[in-house]
Structure 1
Amino acid sequence: MNKFFIVLFHTYLSKLKTKSFIVSTIIMVLLVIGLASLPKVIDYFDKDEKVTIGVLDKTGSTYETLNGRINTINRNVKLKTIENEAAAKKLINSEKLTGYLIIEKDSGKSLKGTYKAKIISDSSISDDLLLALTQVKSSLAAGELKLSPEQLAQLSTPAAFEKVALEKNAKTEDELNQARGLVYILLFVIYLNVIMYASMIAMEIATEKTSRVMEILVSSVSPVQQMFAKICGIALLSITQILLFLSAGYVSIKPNLDEMNGGIFSFLGFDGISISTIIYAIIFCLLGYFLYATLAAFLGSLVSRVEDVQQMILPVTMLIMIAFFIAMYGLTNPTAGFITGISFIPFFSPMIMFLRVGMISVPFWEVALSIGLLVVTIVLLGIFGGKVYRGGVLMYGSSKSYKDIKKALQISKNG
């Protein structure tokens, strides 16, 4: 057991000191700090951003009403009358106008608006203008029909509609929207954690085989101990990195909590995050890591060149990607039958079952069954993988075929 910890901490410390780890950690910490400060950055650039839109009113009576409406919709949009399109284009070229709106009546004597600008990628401006023009059109129609403002408001008011979940512990619509944002973030963390560190294990083993360090290790530490020591060492490395990210995020977010409440912070669900969701995220992240890391470890033992690693662990990468894409679909429909079924398949359950427990109320026995199947699969894969690893680390030469698993098992059996 002493040798196990020697390999574990050697793997952990050697990776901790590498330039790639240090640089990637610094970049990610800066990114976390930047994202935490994003609301303030957005407010800084948007607070004084005024947009001036020219209005060519061919009806001769719409501008004043439209101007009043747009002020209530978006105070950053300012309207200005223009004489003709030629004058408007000159003002746009000199950046005094963002665009201009032509108001006229169509063949049915109804208001028609045409918005022109250099680019129309910013749909928020045109949407605000459309909303204001629609309100003006409704007011004119109400006047022609001799409707009072109260009657117009009654016609414009949408029908009362409420969603009520009959299940006792079901989330409300607002809670579901918040959970969706939070689960998406945590799913992405699980995905990156598994795919990045599982690949790191395979690369570590292939590198040691290339440098012939593996021959020395095999003579002093059993291959199975090596494999699980490396898996645990990289797991410790991932925990260290994630703790650094969380610490940086907490330090950055804490002073800005008041500004974030009710904004994107609230939308992503961080203001209503439950302890159970965090616990499940940690459990499924660790179990998913050990599952895929074990796969990557024994597949990585089959290759002798670092260049062959990515091709050999391609099935592992594909499984993780498939699970992630299924989870993305599940965000919109977590109660779908096939999502429920897939959540019990060990290679997909780290993401899919976590998606379900984060989005909807799932019976505890289902979660326990999924975790149980996942643990059993990890144990069985560890036993099988240990045998493959024992023979694989002694195999040298070009190896890109999965048929070499049989060869590795034979070497392990003979050894």
Structure 2
Amino acid sequence: MSNGFWTVVGFTVKNKFRGKAFLITTVIIAIILSVVINLPYLFAKFSGEDQPTAVGYLDSTQDQLSSQMFTPGHIAAQLGDYYKAQEKPDIEMVSIPDAGSEEANEKALKQAVADGKIDGYLEFEPGAEGAFPNVVYKSEALLDTSSTQSLQVALLSIKNDAILSGVGLSDELKQVLQAPVVIDSVQISTSEGAGSVGQGKTASEQAIDIGLVYVIIFMLFMAIMITGQMIASEITAEKSSRVMEILITSVSPLKGMFGKIFGMFLVGMTQISVYVIVIVVNMTLPHNLETLKDMNISLSEIDPVLLVYSILFYLLGYFLFATMFAAVGSIVSRTEDLGQAVLPITMLSLAGFYICIFGGLNNPNTMLVKVTSFIPFFSPYVMVTRLGLSDPPVWQLWISIAVLIVSILIVGWLAARIYRAGVLMYGKRPSIRELRKAMRAYKG
């Protein structure tokens, strides 16, 4: 490429890197990403969620001495033993002395919650004779689902253990009956020759793929919305300030457009690289690595084939939308009108994003997802989703890439003609008829 192209690229990159707004925005987004990634850990530390929930119960001597199987005292004692046996118990049973009457007991339990001794307490309502009592968990939290679910699992285990012991089963048989059934999930391919991305993946590898799809989709959306808007606003600002008239005397309009697109691409990739580094650094912090280990997820399991294809679709999607933003920016003379002018392009990008988030991630094999994976304005989002969550045939993958490349060439050619004619058209935004006339008349 000639010096004029690289002059525009260098000018665009230097101009952005020197701008305070760009640097401040990059730093702010990097900080936001760091906070979001570490939010569960921060919540656990500052809210005390890493400590077990203290659940109170009435310590009734009469219940402890009773020979019945399902007395509140027996159940509460077994709950305590159940959670003590766990390596990291999420609940701690706390006994509250019996105050002698139902009203006094209720008052004592509530006072224990108010004093911070317990987070909530259990009440046992008698069921049918010999049956397991109805259990009520009371706390100040509006929806304390984590505690109730944990207690539900524990109480079910205690109930089953008591029933199995009553019929005289040995400890070995009880362990066999109570052992959970484990089902491993493995992705397969039913299309011969299609297994470039999806065959034989375990549940943890599939989880990594889903995470990578999320990251690529959001990064592409951010690149299109942020970098695309910057391209359009830069061109419009140069038109409105009449700088464009000076630029086209030394650099041809085509070199100016593609130089600005490529320059913004380098700026955007630098920004994205900073965000990727921030994400990787935060994900490799000890507490986050421990969380991933607990979920049986390892970053080393990222599929390199999926990563390569995701980057390819990311680049193609960027250049498709960037040329469209440049064309629209060239026909707008005032920055105040830019938002309305680029709205159709923004809606196209949003449509692809929403198809993935609300459709593709839940079921990547629907007809809507399959069809839109070949439509160039949506395929950068949708085909990446199909690659990560299913295993489309290779021929479909390369047809989507070919359609996307052809679309970039067509849109680029059309955008170049619009740009050549639009940069010198001032006043109100030209109509399609006026723009076509100017495009025909331009011979440069």
Does the alignment reach a TM-score above 0.5? yes
Within 5 Å, give how 1:227-246 maps onto structure 2. Answer: 227-246=257-276
Q: Distance in 1 between matches of 2:183 and 2:140?
A: 41
Cα RMSD after superposing both structures: 2.8
1:69 matched to 2:99? The reply is no
**Cα–Cα, structure 1 residues 287 and 307, in superposed 2: closer, same or farther, change >3 Å?**
same
- Give the match for residue 410 of structure 2: 380
Structure 2 residue 329 is matched with structure 1 residue 327: no
| 1:54–1:79 CA contact under 8 A, matched in 2 | yes
Could you tell me whether the CA contact under 8 Å between 1:285 and 1:350 is conserved in 2?
A: yes
The residue aligned with 1:226 is: 256
Aligned to 2:141: 119
Instruction: Report the counterpart of residue 156 of structure 2 in structure 1.
Output: 134
CA distance, structure 2, for counterparts of residue 130 and residue 265 of structure 1: 22
**Corresponding letter in the other structure for 2:320:** L
Q: How many angstroms apart in 1 are the aligned matches of 2:157 and 2:281?
A: 46
- Measure the CA separation in 2 of the matches of 1:136 and 1:266: 27
Counterpart secondary structure, 2:137: strand
State the alpha-carbon separation in 2 of the partners of residues 327 and 267 from structure 1.
Answer: 25
CA distance in 2, matches of 1:321, 1:292: 12
**SS of 1:141 mapped into structure 2:** helix
CA contact under 8 A between 1:171 and 1:360: conserved in structure 2? no
1:3 Cα deviation from its structure 2 partner: 1.6
User: How is 1:263-412 mapped onto 2 (pairs within 5 angstroms)?
Assistant: 263=292, 270-328=299-357, 329-399=359-429, 404-412=431-439
Residues 1:163 and 1:278: Cα distance change in structure 2 (over 3 Å) = closer
Q: Would you say 1:98 and 2:125 are equivalent positions? A: no
Write the distance in 1 (CA, Å) between the matches of 2:269 and 2:183. Answer: 46
What SS does the aligned partner of 2:72 have?
coil
Is the counterpart of residue 80 in structure 1 residue 94 in structure 2?
A: yes
Residue 166 of structure 1: how far off its partner (Å): 5.3
- Unaligned 5+ runs, structure 1: none
Distance in 2 between residues matched to 1:99 and 1:247, nearest whole Å: 43
Q: Secondary structure at the match of 2:93?
A: strand
Deviation at 1:279, TM superposition (A): 1.8
Instruction: Give, as a single letter, the amino acid of the residue that structure 2 aligns with 1:408.
Output: L
Task: Provide the rounded CA distance (Å) in 2 between the counterparts of 1:243 and 1:183.
Answer: 17
Q: Kindly provide the amino acid, as one letter, of the partner of residue 414 in structure 1.
A: A
Matching residue's letter, 1:26: V
TM-score (norm 1): 0.89
Which residue number corresponds to residue 2 of structure 1? 3
How far off is 1:236 after superposition?
0.8
- The structural deviation recorded for 1:336 is 2.9
Deviations 1:254-286 (A, max 9, x none): 6x4696166279666623112222222221111
Change (3 A) 1:175 1:76: closer
Structure 2 residue aligned with 1:56 = 58
The letter for the 1-side match of 2:319 is: F
Moved more, 181-190 or 263-272: 263-272
Q: In the superposition, relative to structure 1, how do residues 67 and 174 fare at CA in structure 2: closer, same or farther (>3 Å)?
A: same
In structure 2, give the amino acid aligned to 1:19. Answer: K
The range that moved more, 120-129 or 381-390, is: 120-129
Distance (whole Å) between structure 1 residues aligned to residue 380 and residue 52 of structure 2? 47
Contact persistence 2:205–2:297 (CA under 8 A): no
**Alignment partners' CA distance in 2, 1:312 and 1:166:** 45
Percent identity between the two aligned chains? 34
Structure 1 residue 228, shift from structure 2 partner: 1.1
Letter in 1 for 2:362: T
| Kept in 1: contact 2:374–2:403 (CA 8 A) | yes
Contact 1:39 1:260 in 2 (8 A): no
Secondary structure of 1:49 counterpart: coil
Does structure 1 residue 28 correspond to structure 2 residue 34?
no
How far has the Cα of 1:250 moved from its partner?
4.6
Q: CA deviation at 1:294?
A: 0.9
Q: How far 1:298 moved relative to its partner? A: 0.8
- Structure 2: runs of 5 or more not aligned: 60-70, 99-104, 190-194
Q: Is 1:110 matched with 2:105?
A: no
SS of match in other structure, 1:263: helix
Structure 2 Cα separation of the partners of residues 392 and 335 of structure 1 = 42
Amino acid paired to 1:124: S
Residue deviations 1:187-244 (CA, integer Å, cap 9, x gap): 2112111221111111111111221212222333222222111111100101111222
Cα distance change, pair 140–253 in 1 and its aligned pair in 2 (3 A)? closer
How many residues are paired up? 411
Contact 1:182/1:270 (CA < 8 Å) preserved in 2? no
- C-alpha separation between the residues in 1 aligned to 2:298 and 2:217? 14
C-alpha separation between the residues in 2 aligned to 1:44 and 1:10? Answer: 47
